[in-house]
Amino acid sequence: MSQQQFENFTASSLYCDKCKAAMPVRERLLLILPDKEVYDYLCTGCASSVGSREVTAGEKLMAQSMAKRRPRRAAVAPAPRIQL
C-alpha cells in the first residue's frame, strides 16, 4: 500500500472523559494561520473538546491534488425495461 493513503486522517469518534466512552466527534475549524490550519474535535454528546488536528499548507495542497487525480465513477444508467 502507498504511504500517501495514510497521510491525512480525520477522526470520526474519540474517547470523551466527560462521557466516559468513545463518542462521535465534529471537526471545527479553530484557527487559520499562514502556514497551517488548526481544527478542534468536539464530542457530540457533551460538546467538550476531545482533541485537535493541525493541517499544514503543504498537506492541504497535496490532499487537494490527490482529490483531483482520483478517477470518479461514472453514473450507472438504469437497465432498460423489456416489455413482453
Q: Model confidence over 26-60: pLDDT tens digits? A: 999 999 999 999 999 999 999 999 999 998 877 77
- Whether 82 is in a domain gets the answer no
- Whether 54 is in a domain gets the answer yes
- Whether 16 is in a domain gets the answer yes
41: number of Cβ within 10 Å: 22
The count of structural domains within the chain is 1
Question: Beta 49-56 vs 21-32: how paired, if at all?
Answer: unpaired
- Whether 15 is in a domain gets the answer yes
Q: Model confidence over 3-20: pLDDT tens digits? A: 666 666 788 999 999 999
